[in-house]
Structures are given as structure tokens and as C-alpha cells.
């Protein structure tokens, strides 16, 4: 019984720790924490695409599709955040489904370039068409989420940083839980199989095209959720927020963390965000430091930070059982 309780205790401690963040940090750090939560969802959903073996360069644009859709629904149709966010995510998922038809006719390098072309074309559409996308300046004055409770006279403004932190924590937490369940399900196992041996998977009757599409659609859905969160928190969306350089940052987070485990990308984005905080005064050197970290990781730690964790875990396990086990990742 004691063993069965342990994960629960860990989960409660983690939740308590995360919930106390807004009361422990400086205001600007709370801002960073909110962006970190949003980025967590971006990288974990991105990993769902990468485990099928294809590296998309359109993921951040999918995030943008969600942000723009939710903003337009809120501004033009006057919808509440609670409606505009899920509708935007569904729209983005449908959009990704349509895109999957041309994209999945390509593989490896061609997929990479094709996804880049699709994403860039979408982004240029936002820049070119002032109605309804607002051109290069994008959309502003996106209403913050409100929460009306029956026993309160005025709705709670969730746009305030402390409130928004909890909103993001709950939405991102739930999303990660769903993504984790998908990973552990039959679908997740099949996706891994497609990554390692797609021809073999096909020959035993797996419709690889269908699973790849499913991964892309689900990943885009959650990218859109993170995009909607971003748009409603900042109050504005612009085309530059979803440009190639942002996509490259996502790539750095994911690669530095590693893509073999669920927590790899999380490790990457958290570590680099902490580094960001240390180099805050040298903001203009950030790309340089990211570039160096990326190069050193690929050169000397090709499986990312997660491989260190895997090794440490394997070391612990073998010490506990006094039996040497093969080190994971070798």
C-alpha cells in the first residue's frame, strides 16, 4: 500500500509546489512562468509529431492558427474564451487534417521543407490580408478570459497574471495528462513502432498514414490551445510571434531535452528557460548561447538531457537490486 501511495504523494507535492509559485516569485518572473507553461504544451505536443519520425516546421504556425482563430472568434463573434479556445483548437485540428494530405505525400527532408512552405504561406497570408488578420501588426485588444460564478456579482478577470497562471496551469496540466495517456495507449505504442520501423509496421497491417495523420491532428489541436492561451494572455497576436525563428527555438528546446521520453522536451524547455533567466541582461546574446548549447548537445549528448536522467535512473535501479542492468539508451 505504501508503494501505491507514493506516486500520489509525489503528485500532490508537485501540485502544491506549482500552485505556490505565484506567491514566491517576482512579478516579471510570474510572467516568465506563464510563458513557460504555454511553451511546455508547445514542446510536448510537438514531440507527438516527431515520434512518428517526421520533423515538422509548421508546428508554431499551427499554434498561430489557434491564436488567430480564438482571437477572431472573441473579437468578431463576441464569443467567450471558454468557447473560442476549444473551437479554435478544433478548427486548427481540422485544418491540420486538410494539410496532412499534401504533407504526408512527402518524407524526411521533403516533409521538413514542405511543412515549412505550408507554414510560411499561412503566415504570409496573415501579413497580406488586413481583413480579417490585421496585417503585419496583427490583432490587438483580445479580451482576457473571464470567469463568472453564480455567487459573485462581477466576473473574475482571469487576465491578471496570478489568475492567468492558475488558468494556464489547469489547462496545460489537463492537456499534458491527455497527451500522456495517448502516449501510454495502443496509439502511442503504434506511433513508436512507425518511428523505428515504418515499413515493418505497414507489413503487419498498420495503416501508417492514418496514425501519422492522427499524431499531426492531435498535436496541432494542443498547439492551438497553447496559441489561444498566449493570445488571450498577451492581448495581441502578430505574425512575427509564429515565425521561423520561434520554430527554431522550439526545435532547440526539444532537441536539447531529447525526444525519446515524454519528459525529455519538458526537461529541455525548463532548463533553457532557467538559463534564459541567468542571461537576462545579455538578451541580445541569447541566440548565440542557444546556438552553442544546440551544437554542443548534438555533438556530445546526442540523446539530449533525458539520456542523463535515464542513466541516473538505471544506476539507481542497479544499486537497489544489486544486479547490474543494461543502461537504457545503449
Partner 1 sequence: MFELILQTSVNALVASSFTALVAVGLVLIFGVMGIVNFAHGELYMAGAFAVWHLHSVLAWPFLLSLAVAILIVAAIGAVMERLLFRPMRSNPLGGLIMSVGTLFILQVVALEFGGGTGRAKHVTPPWRGVVEVFGIDGVTVPIQRLAVIGISVVLLGGLWLFLHRTKAGWALRACAQDPEAAALQGISIDRFSLLAMVLGAGLAGAAGAAMSPLLPVEPSMGHAVIVTAFIVIIVGGIGSIEGAVLASVIYTFFDTFVTTFVDGTIASILGLLIMMLVLVIKPTGLMGVQEKV
Cα-based torsion angle of the residue sequence 283, 287, 292, 295 in order, rounded to the nearest 10 degrees = 150
Q: How far is the CB of 285 from partner 1 (least distance, A)?
A: 6
Three-state secondary structure string covering 203-216:
HCCCCHHHHHHHHH
Say whether residue 275 binds partner 1 (CB under 8 A). no
| Residue nearer to partner 1 on the CB measure, 294 or 328 | 294
Choose, by CB under 8 A, the member of 153, 203, 284, 322 that binds partner 1.
284
| Residue nearer to partner 1 on the CB measure, 271 or 318 | 271
Point out which span in 20-28, 221-229, 244-252, 316-324 binds partner 1 (CB under 8 A): 244-252
Q: How many residues does the chain have?
A: 330
Say whether residue 113 binds partner 1 (CB under 8 A). yes
Say whether residue 290 binds partner 1 (CB under 8 A). yes
Contact 155, 148 (CB under 8 A): yes
Say whether residue 114 binds partner 1 (CB under 8 A). yes
Choose, by CB under 8 A, the member of 244, 279, 308, 328 that binds partner 1.
244
Point out which span in 7-15, 67-75, 215-223, 298-306 binds partner 1 (CB under 8 A): 298-306
Say whether residue 255 binds partner 1 (CB under 8 A). yes
Say whether residue 221 binds partner 1 (CB under 8 A). no
CA 313-318-328 angle, 5° bins:
50
Choose, by CB under 8 A, the member of 295, 312, 313, 316 that binds partner 1.
295
How many residues bind partner 1 (CB under 8 A)? The answer is 35
| Residue nearer to partner 1 on the CB measure, 106 or 187 | 106
Interaction site with partner 1 (CB under 8 A)? 55, 102, 105-106, 109-110, 112-114, 116-118, 120-121, 124-125, 127-128, 244, 248, 251-252, 255, 284-285, 287-288, 290-292, 294-295, 298-299, 302
Amino acid at each position: 500500500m505504501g508503494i501505491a501511495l507514493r506516486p500520489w504523494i509525489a503528485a500532490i507535492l508537485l501540485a502544491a509546489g506549482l500552485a505556490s509559485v505565484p506567491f514566491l516569485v517576482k512579478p516579471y518572473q510570474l510572467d516568465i512562468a506563464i510563458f513557460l507553461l504555454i511553451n511546455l504544451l508547445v514542446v510536448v505536443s510537438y514531440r507527438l509529431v516527431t515520434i512518428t519520425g517526421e520533423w515538422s516546421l509548421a508546428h508554431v504556425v499551427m499554434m498561430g492558427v489557434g491564436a488567430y482563430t480564438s482571437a477572431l472568434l472573441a473579437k468578431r463573434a463576441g464569443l467567450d474564451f471558454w468557447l473560442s479556445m476549444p473551437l479554435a483548437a478544433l478548427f486548427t485540428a481540422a485544418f491540420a487534417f486538410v494539410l496532412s494530405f499534401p504533407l504526408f505525400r512527402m518524407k524526411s527532408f521533403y516533409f521538413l521543407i514542405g511543412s515549412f512552405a505550408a507554414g510560411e504561406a499561412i503566415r504570409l497570408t496573415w501579413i497580406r490580408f488586413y481583413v480579417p488578420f490585421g496585417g503585419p501588426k496583427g490583432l490587438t485588444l483580445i479580451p482576457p478570459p473571464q470567469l463568472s460564478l453564480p455567487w459573485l456579482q462581477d466576473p473574475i478577470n482571469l487576465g491578471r497574471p496570478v489568475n492567468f497562471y492558475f488558468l494556464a496551469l489547469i489547462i496545460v496540466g489537463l492537456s499534458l495528462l491527455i497527451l500522456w495517456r495517448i502516449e501510454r495507449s495502443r496509439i502511442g505504442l503504434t506511433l513508436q513502432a512507425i518511428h523505428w520501423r515504418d515499413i515493418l509496421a505497414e507489413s503487419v497491417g498498420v495503416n501508417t498514414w492514418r496514425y501519422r495523420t492522427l499524431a499531426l491532428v492531435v498535436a496541432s489541436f494542443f498547439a492551438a490551445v497553447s496559441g489561444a492561451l498566449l493570445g488571450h494572455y498577451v492581448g495581441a497576436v502578430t505574425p512575427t510571434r509564429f515565425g521561423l525563428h520561434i520554430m527554431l527555438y522550439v526545435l532547440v528546446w526539444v532537441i536539447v531535452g531529447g525526444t525519446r521520453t515524454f519528459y525529455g522536451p519538458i526537461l529541455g524547455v525548463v532548463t533553457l528557460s532557467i538559463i534564459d533567466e541567468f542571461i537576462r541582461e545579455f538578451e541580445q546574446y541569447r541566440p548565440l548561447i542557444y546556438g552553442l548549447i544546440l551544437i554542443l548537445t548534438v555533438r556530445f549528448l546526442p540523446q539530449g538531457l533525458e539520456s542523463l536522467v535515464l542513466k541516473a535512473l538505471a544506476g539507481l535501479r542497479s544499486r537497489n537490486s544489486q544486479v547490474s542492468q543494461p543502461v537504457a539508451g545503449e
